[in-house]
Amino acid sequence: MKHRTSFKTLWNHLSKKQITLLVGARQTGKTTLMQQMQSKLEKEGKLTFFISLEDPEILQLLDEHPRNLFQVIPPYNNKKVILFIDEIQYLSDPTNFLKYHYDLNRDSIKFVVSGSSAFYIDKKFKDSLAGRKRIFILPTLNFEEFLIFKNRSEITSFINSGSIPEMYKSELQKWLNEYLLFGGYPEVVMEEELSEKKLILGEIADSYIKKDALESKLKYPDLYMKIFRILSSRSGLFNSSSIAKNLKIKYQTINTYVELMESSFHITKILPFYRNVEKELRKMPKIYLNDLGLRNYFVGNFKPIALRIDKGELLENFVFRRFYDFYSIDDIRFWRTQKKQEVDFIIQESRAYEVKYSKKAFNPSKYRYFETKYPDLPLNLIHLDNVLEINLKSNK
C-alpha cells in the first residue's frame, strides 16, 4: 500500500480534538488517504465509521438536523469514535453541522472530513470554526511521491540533495520526462499506457473540473473551460483585461472564473516582489498550473519536452511546483520591472532563481541590473540538467 508523504502528518493530527479537514482538487486521492487511515486505525482496534455525502439519503438526513448523525452511525457506547466524512461541502451548511458536533461531542467523536473545493469551504466555513479545525491541502503527487508510486522510493532522497549519484541520473531523467508530460494525478501515474494516461486526464478535465463550474453555478461553464485553456497556454503574467478583451467579455468575469480555479486548487497565483515602488511591478500576478499533466491536456501537447516550443515554460512550471512543495505561497515571489526585466522566483526574500531550459540560454548580462540593485539576493540558475540536483531549500 502506497502512502502519501502527508499521511504521517494527518495521522499525527488524529490525536487532536480539532477537526481534521482535508481539501484539494478532485481526484487527488483524498478518499483513498482517509480510507488508509481508517484501515490502520481498525487494525489497532479503534472504532471508526466512514460516511460519504455523495449518498443522497445520508445527505438528506444530515441536512435536516446535525443530530441525525446518530441515525447514520450505530451506537458506540461512550467509546471514542473516529468519524470520516467524505465530500463535506455537499451539506447545505457544513459549518453549522461541524460546529454543532464539535461543541457537543468533541470528547467522544474525532472528525476527519474532506472537501473537494476550497470554493465551498471559503463560503460556508465561517469564523465560527476558528480554532475548531485544521486545514490540510492535498495536491496531486509531488515528484518524490511520483517515484514512490513507481516503486522507486529508494532514490527519492537524492532529489534536490545537491548531488545525484551517476548511476541514477539517466533513470531520474526518464521519470522526470514522464512527470513533466503527465503530472501527478495518482490514477494517471499508476496507468502504464500513454494513451490511457491522456484519456484519464481528459476525463478529469471534462468531468471533474467542469463539475466545479457547474456546482458553483457559473453562468457560462464552457467559458470557464476556455479560460482554463488560455491560462494553460500562456502561464506567467496574468492580465485579466487582456484576456477579457480577446474574449469580448468583462474583466470582472475573468477574475471571478479565475478565482474559482484557484480556490479549486487547479492554479496558483504568485505576487511580485518589489522595493522600488515606481519602477517595479507591484500588482499583476503570475499564474501557474498545479498539475503539469492537466496543463498539457489543455494545451493539447504531450510531445517530449525536448521537442516542444514551450519547454522553457513547462520547466518553469515544474520548478514552481517544487517550490510550492517546500514553501508557503507567501514565500514565493517573482521580480519584474516596468521595462520587462524579470527574475522568475524570489524565495523568502533571501535568494533568486532564474529558470532556463538549457544552460546556454542564460545570458548573465541581462541580470546585471537586478544583481546590482539586489546584491543581498544571490541569483541561481536552474536548467534541465540541474533541476533535480540543485538544493532548492538553500542558496546552493
- List the chain domain ranges: 7-138, 203-382
Per-residue CA distances from 46 to 28, 42, 178, 181, 341 (Å) = 26, 5, 40, 42, 58
Nearest-CA neighbor of 111 among 140, 91, 123, 122?
A: 91
Check if the beta carbon of residue 138 is closer than 8 Å to that of residue 6.
yes
What's the pLDDT tens digit per position in 311-354?
999 999 999 999 999 999 999 999 999 888 999 999 999 999 99
CA–centroid distance for 357 within its chain:
23
Which residues lie below 8 Å from residue 173, measured CB to CB, with a gap of 6+?
388
> Is pLDDT above 50 for 396?
no
CATH number for the domain running over 7-138: 3.40.50.300
Confidence of residue 234 (pLDDT cuts 50, 70, 90): confident
SS3 for 117?
coil
Q: What is the pTM of this model?
A: 0.93
pLDDT of residue 112: 98
Give CA–CA dist 152/268, Å, rounded: 29
> Is pLDDT above 60 for 255?
yes
Range of weakest confidence among 156-160, 186-190, 247-251, 315-319: 247-251
**Residue 91: phi, psi to the nearest 5?**
-65, 145
SS3 for 23?
strand
Q: Three cell numbers at 117? A: 473545493
Average pLDDT over all residues of the chain: 92
- Please name the helix (run of DSSP H) or strand (run of DSSP E) that holds residue 342, with its range, or none: strand 342-347
* Mean pLDDT for the stretch of residues 130-148: 94
> Is pLDDT above 60 for 30?
yes
Check if the beta carbon of residue 357 is closer than 8 Å to that of residue 315.
yes
Query: Residue-wise over 97-107: b if at least 16 C-beta within 10 A, else e?
Result: bbbebbeebee
What's the pLDDT tens digit per position in 359-379?
999 999 999 999 999 999 999
10 Å CB burial of residue 152 (0-12, 13-18, 19+) is: middle
Q: Three cell numbers at 367? A: 541580470
What's the pLDDT tens digit per position in 196-220?
999 999 999 988 888 888 888 888 8
